[in-house]
Structure 1
């Protein structure tokens, strides 16, 4: 938990299997006052999903977490990452917090739509929209999903 009190963190994604080159991935965590901004840069697939899951699990430990996952610097992600994002969203909402995904790349939006998750993840285009979206549902005066 002490890690989240710093203004900026970097997680190094370890190489998982020697025979398979690990994708170039970078997970950045930045505190924006109350919310945490988790920036995913590079490629994210099944090999790096455990590292991302661990980073998000740490971020969700707060009583009423507000998380923003920024996919804008992400060049590639697969369905295993969608699973990790859904898990983090569920855990955040269960703790009374808010969760938002920033996503602008057409290929990423198509993947989210093909998985029929556009309504659940509700990607937004800007950080400002994401910050508004992370206000817990009870703070907006409506029930969350």
Structure 2
């Protein structure tokens, strides 16, 4: 096992007033976006001692944070302003049933007016840490 600390960071920030199922759903969706944009983050497939194969996972830890609505809005603005790869989930996306509808509800609202319930970011550690200012580790 390597003790080397990656020079990048992957983090998810979810709004603190979401139901538990919503927090998990948002986290999964956001990580899928980060993984799609950064396939090099994915490690090698797993296998158990019996030779049963399992899918590969992200090769670095994912930090999960929470914050209130104002913290999410500010984090989205900082992430976009820093040009970080950013995944987004808005409250309106809970009312849709497919990817095209999700994109449509996001496209209908100006960035500063989005009802952000989650963001995922990946990038150099220091800029990601600055994006997460005001958030705290998810319990």
Pair in the same fold by TM > 0.5 = no
Determine which structure has more spread, i.e. the larger CA radius of gyration.
Answer: 2
* Class of the TM-score when normalised by the shorter of the 2 chains: under 0.3
Q: Could you tell me the TM-score, scaled by structure 2's length?
A: 0.24
Higher relative contact order (CA 8 A, sep 6+): 2
